């Protein structure tokens, strides 16, 4: 026969094998079950049970009151559900029959899979773990602050690991809504903020990632009087510099697989942006999505193309034609696409 399963990651419940819940009337009865389930089948001393169930102060006859409460719990769950042992009581349940302990096991499996380079396996285990939560942890424990905070921190660790797996699987766009909400709830959590920046970068939204970094930098300075930590600073530097594959300021991350119609990924620079700034292709990146400019008195097909040179006052008459990533070069048979020229040093 399948055992009763216990839920304490939310309102305390005892769930029968058919999915129905055992009626548990009274806050103290639920508190007693919460304390027993929290210990995962280990014996809990009677004095500890009294302290945690009657947090505001024990009754005059604490021992008798506890025995009466245990009797009520046995009537609800079955006579063998709570065992007397060594001056205390224990719940007759395996750790995996209690959601909190099953959560911890699954999170361990998921984080190990992630460390072993198996994000698919990690995602499955972590999804199963997070699905066990149905409300605030230990909601029926009278003095829940310290223990509940520990459990909430473990849940946040699991969420970080789950989104790390999602990014490894190429699911950045799908992760962004929840990551954004988590960062709003935990704005000073730098590992979460770093995950959001990576998701924005991987989704091709580099400019938004840089803006988000600046928001975090200001927030840390205002709230804590500190700068971002090494992980965020390293990620910021990576976003600023052109990297292999064209990642960097003003460029999009190329999607996996060939681009549609054989065209390169379109740059986030506006479709109507022309002139010296567009010609420099932002940061000098030559990766996918970068612009190339040629100059001449007319379109590239009308005259020989010349390499782009920095704009000067006497060059205002020169017309620039920007060849965009979506524009096949076959349309400009005479065009020569030079490498990007870095901007002139500031005068």
Question: Helix, strand, or coil here: 18?
Answer: coil
Mean per-residue pLDDT, 305-319: 40
What is the pLDDT confidence band of residue 56, given thresholds at 50, 70 and 90?
Answer: confident
Of 181, 161, 163, the residue nearest 172 (C-alpha): 163
Note the pTM of the prediction, 2 decimals. 0.69
- The CATH code for residues 1-168 is 1.10.10.10
Task: Check residue 316 and give its pLDDT.
Answer: 40
Domains of the chain: which residue ranges? 1-168, 170-240, 265-331
pLDDT at 269: 32
- Rounded to an integer, what distance in angstroms lies between the CA atom of residue 139 and that of residue 100? 13
The number of angstroms, rounded, from the C-alpha of 134 to the middle of its chain's C-alpha atoms is: 19
When pLDDT is cut at 50, 70 and 90, the band that residue 144 belongs to is: confident
Res 292 pLDDT > 50: no
pLDDT score at 64 = 95
Please write the tens of the pLDDT for every residue from 169-199: 999 999 999 999 999 999 999 999 999 999 9
State the distance between the two ends of the chain, measured CA to CA, in whole angstroms: 83
State the pLDDT at residue 136. Answer: 95
pLDDT in tens, 60-92: 999 999 999 999 999 999 999 999 988 999 999
Nearest to 55 by CA among 34, 40, 85: 34
**pLDDT for residue 258 is more than 60:** no
Statement: residue 121 has pLDDT above 90: yes
Nearest to 115 by CA among 149, 152, 164: 164
DSSP reduced 3-state for 141:
coil
> In this structure, how many other beta carbons lie within 10 angstroms of the beta carbon of residue 234?
12
pLDDT interval class at 1 (50, 70, 90): low
pLDDT band at 49 (very low <50, low <70, confident <90, very high): very high
Name the pLDDT band for 12 (thresholds 50, 70, 90).
very high
- 197-251 confidence digits (pLDDT tens): 999 999 999 999 999 999 999 999 999 999 999 999 999 999 998 654 445 554 4
pLDDT at 242: 61
Instruction: Look up residue 132 and give its two tokens.
Output: 């066990």
Q: SS3 helix, strand, coil % of the chain, rounded to 5?
A: 50, 10, 45
Give me the pLDDT at residue 342, please: 56
- The owner of tokens 């079950």 is 33
CATH code for residues 170-240: 1.25.40.10
Given a cut of 50, whether residue 252 has pLDDT beyond it is no
Q: Mean pLDDT for the chain?
A: 79
Closest CA to 279 of 346, 340, 329, 332: 340
- Interval 8-19 mean pLDDT: 95
């Amino acid at each position: 026969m399948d055992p009763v399963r216990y839920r304490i990651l939310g309102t305390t419940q005892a769930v029968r094998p058919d999915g129905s819940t055992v009626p548990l009337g009274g806050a103290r009865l639920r508190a007693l079950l919460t304390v027993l389930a929290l210990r995962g089948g280990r014996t809990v001393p009677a004095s500890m049970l009294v302290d945690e169930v009657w947090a505001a102060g024990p009754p005059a006859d604490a021992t008798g009151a506890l025995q009466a409460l245990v009797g009520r719990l046995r009537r609800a769950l079955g006579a063998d559900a709570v065992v007397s042992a060594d001056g205390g009581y224990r719940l007759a349940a395996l750790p995996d029959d209690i959601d909190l302990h099953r959560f911890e096991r699954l999170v361990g499996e998921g984080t190990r899979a992630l460390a072993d380079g198996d994000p698919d396996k990690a995602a499955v285990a972590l999804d199963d773990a997070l699905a066990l939560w149905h409300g605030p942890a230990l909601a029926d424990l009278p003095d829940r602050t310290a223990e509940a905070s520990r459990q909430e921190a473990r849940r946040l660790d699991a969420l970080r690991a789950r989104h790390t797996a999602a990014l490894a699987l190429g699911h950045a766009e799908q992760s962004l809504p929840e990551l954004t909400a988590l960062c709003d709830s935990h704005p000073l959590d730098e590992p979460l903020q770093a995950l959001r920046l990576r998701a924005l970068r991987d989704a091709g939204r580099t400019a938004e990632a840089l803006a988000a970094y600046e928001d975090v930098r200001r927030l840390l300075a205002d709230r804590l009087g500190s700068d971002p930590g090494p992980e965020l600073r390293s990620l910021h530097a990576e976003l600023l510099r052109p990297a292999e594959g064209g990642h960097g300021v003003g460029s999009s991350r190329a999607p996996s697989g060939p681009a549609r119609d054989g065209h390169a990924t379109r740059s986030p620079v506006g479709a109507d942006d022309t002139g010296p700034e567009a010609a420099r292709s932002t940061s000098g990146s030559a990766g996918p999505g970068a612009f190339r400019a040629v100059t001449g008195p007319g379109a590239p097909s009308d005259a020989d193309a010349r390499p782009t040179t920095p704009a000067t006052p006497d060059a205002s008459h020169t017309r620039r034609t920007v060849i965009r990533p979506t524009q096949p070069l076959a349309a400009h048979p005479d065009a020569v696409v030079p490498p990007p020229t870095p901007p002139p040093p500031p005068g």
